[in-house]
Amino acid sequence: MTLALAIADAIGRLQAVSDSPRQDAEWLLAHLLGYSRAQLFTRLDHPLPQGDLDRFKALITRRAKGEPVAYLTGEKGFWTFSVAVNSAVLVPRPETELLVEWALEWLKPLASPRVADLGTGSGVIALALTLERPDAHVTGVDLSADALAVARDNAAQLRAQVDWVEADFGEWLLMNGPEHDLIVANPPYIAARDPHLDALRFEPRMALTDGHDGLNALRCIIAHAALRLRAGGRLMVEHGYDQASAVQTLMTEAGFTEVTTRHDLGGQPRATAGLRP
């Protein structure tokens, strides 16, 4: 069995579950063999030893049951780097880079800004911001100790300096004073009855849904963020494709001004920001 044949066979098995069966199969085989994808492509006609084939098939079986590729390889690329992930954290999504881009734009004129990332998970937003802005003071808050362990390891690996705080972000927002220039969050925003949740069943439920209408975490953050933002500070949140107007209304009602929404690369309204006057 050559690598090419093993991949072709795997693609057939992944067709029903994945939007990108070829990429998944290539990614998993490259990971298993310790190759880059470029190295994999130059060796497609090489024979795959039986032991490797068995291990590859086992990975494909798990993927075919819906487990994300990132959990099978233990890593995921985000922004300019790669982080370790496991089932304690949401797999970072490319659309979340929109939040990073927007945050960096806003931070540009500020010297040594203070930033907080609520529900930081694997830490990718906090890590991207601190790597791009080493002068920033970045805090990553998460309720899950297991998620923070992942975030801490990622920070150590990337030699990034972030203050990790294990707390409910609702409670964290009530602590101390209005000293932040920016609060960012990619909170759980999927409604509990959303059928899409089933496809995400391998990821932590607390990172995906509030158990209600998908707006509870956003309501909590928007209602209390002003307590931790200086006057002129900004709040930026990621949300579902159909939540932009609800989030805008919540921000306006909470006293935020300059409330604006931006679209992700898929053309969906994905992040909304407001200014604390």
Interface with ligand GLN (CB under 6 A)? 93, 186-190, 200, 208
Phi and psi angles of residue 274, each rounded to the nearest 5 degrees, phi first = -145, 160
Q: Are 218 and 243 in contact (CB under 8 A)?
A: yes
Could you tell me the smallest distance in angstroms from the CB atom of residue 240 to ligand GLN? 7
CB of residue 1 vs ligand GLN: minimum separation in angstroms? 35
Q: Considering the complex, what minimum distance in angstroms separates the CB of residue 191 from ligand GLN?
A: 10
User: CB 200 → ligand GLN: shortest distance, Å?
Assistant: 6
Beta bridge partners of 84: 75
Q: Which is nearer to ligand GLN, 124 or 158 (CB)?
A: 124
Given a contact cutoff of 8 angstroms between Cβ atoms, the answer to whether 154 and 218 are in contact is no
Residue 165 CB, shortest distance to ligand GLN, in Å, is 19
Distance separating alpha carbons of residues 94 and 92, to the nearest angstrom: 7
Compute the least distance from the CB of residue 43 to ligand GLN, in Å.
Answer: 34
CA pair distance 255, 55, nearest whole angstrom: 56
Taking the least distance from each CB to ligand GLN, the nearer of 21 and 188 is 188
Q: List Cβ neighbours of 193 (8 Å cut-off, separation of 6 or more).
A: none
Q: State the minimum distance, in angstroms, from the CB of residue 270 to ligand GLN.
A: 8
Helix (H) or strand (E) holding 72: helix 69-73
Q: 9 vs 95, which CB is nearer to ligand GLN? A: 95
Is residue 188 within 8 A of residue 207, CB to CB? The reply is: yes
State which residue, 192 or 227, has the beta carbon closest to ligand GLN: 192
Q: Are the C-beta atoms of 214 and 240 separated by less than 8 Å? A: yes
Closer to ligand GLN at the Cβ: 40 or 96?
96
Name which of 16, 44, 18 is nearest 29 in CA terms.
44
Residue-by-residue DSSP string for 136-196: SEEEEEES-HHHHHHHHHHHHHHT---EEEES-HHHHTTSS-S-EEEEEE----B-TT-GG
Pick the closer one to ligand GLN by CB: 110 or 197: 197
Of the pair 56, 71, the CB lying nearest ligand GLN is at 71
